[in-house]
Structure 1
């Protein structure tokens, strides 16, 4: 968690300092939180804080989708939620391609469900990739 937060804060600080991106403080905090959550994801295949948080959020989002009558998306999310159970620890969840693919719902779900343009969600996607990357880096996967 600390690695994800520190890594995200450094990247965000560099982006602000360079004048490339300047979110308001609340959005900056949200981006750092997303990075921390994504940093936990590679270990959802073990008994961990990340696993508890991940499955708790998954149940909540699935319930919201079902309450809205979006059963197809609830089923897709449920299937995706089972994927970490396929494989072993430090298996596919510890790969560079998972680092890029696992956060894609951050862009795709708002795009298809709410018609929010992908470019609006891109900072959130990058925050998740940065957090995921920090976990792989600290685990010496590169």
Structure 2
């Protein structure tokens, strides 16, 4: 099991590979020309940030750096929602926030299905809030999140058994 520094390193590598693939796709039809150099750097930084955050996300179910970061973000977001009198949204955020801690460590947050489902709002929310816009505008963000999440599961030896990882009995994913 990697520590948070190992997970961040893994997320940088895997998300970097994802960004390289995304750049290659954009280069095929020169779609990158729609962005200035500053925008390309900015979008790459945002996507890398998302990859790093989701590289730490699965450990939100235990006392960890990832948990500290996410719960501070959740707290600040909840305060802003309450301050803006968005009580329903604040309640849903609170409900969402307790889900990881009511499970066991390396439970559902370390599953392959969670790797695909947890980042799904990055695609679904823009589709729902801005139906007139490009329907898959959130797809690059989703991809970065899945890349980061994948890196965490990979570093923990849950995707491909790593030779230096000892599998725990009873863990069959």
Match of residue 83 from structure 2: 67
Query: Does the aligned pair in 2 maintain the 1:5–1:33 contact within 8 Å?
Result: no
In structure 1, runs of 5+ residues without a counterpart are none
Q: Counterpart in 2 of 1:85? A: 101
| 1:124 maps onto 2:141 in alignment | yes
| CA displacement 1:105-128 (0-9 Å, x = unmatched) | 32344455x537552222111111
Q: 2:150 aligns with which of 130, 133, 137?
A: 133
Higher helix content, 1 or 2: 1
Alignment partner for residue 36 of structure 1, among 32, 52, 57?
52
Higher deviation after alignment, 75-84 or 60-69: 60-69
- Aligned residue in 2 for 1:115: 130
CA offset digits 1:81-140 (Å, max 9, x no partner): 00011221111100011111111232344455x537552222111111110011001111
Structure 2 segments unaligned to the other structure (5+ residues): 1-7, 160-173
Larger radius of gyration: 2
Q: State the alpha-carbon separation in 2 of the partners of residues 109 and 75 from structure 1.
A: 17
Of stretches 15-24 and 99-108 in structure 1, the one that deviates more from structure 2 is: 15-24
How many residue pairs get matched?
141
1-side partners of 2:123 and 2:82: how far apart?
A: 20
Deviation at 1:74, TM superposition (A): 1.1
Q: Secondary structure at the match of 2:157?
A: coil
2:20 aligns with one of 13, 18, 36 = 13
What is the deviation of 1:5? 1.2
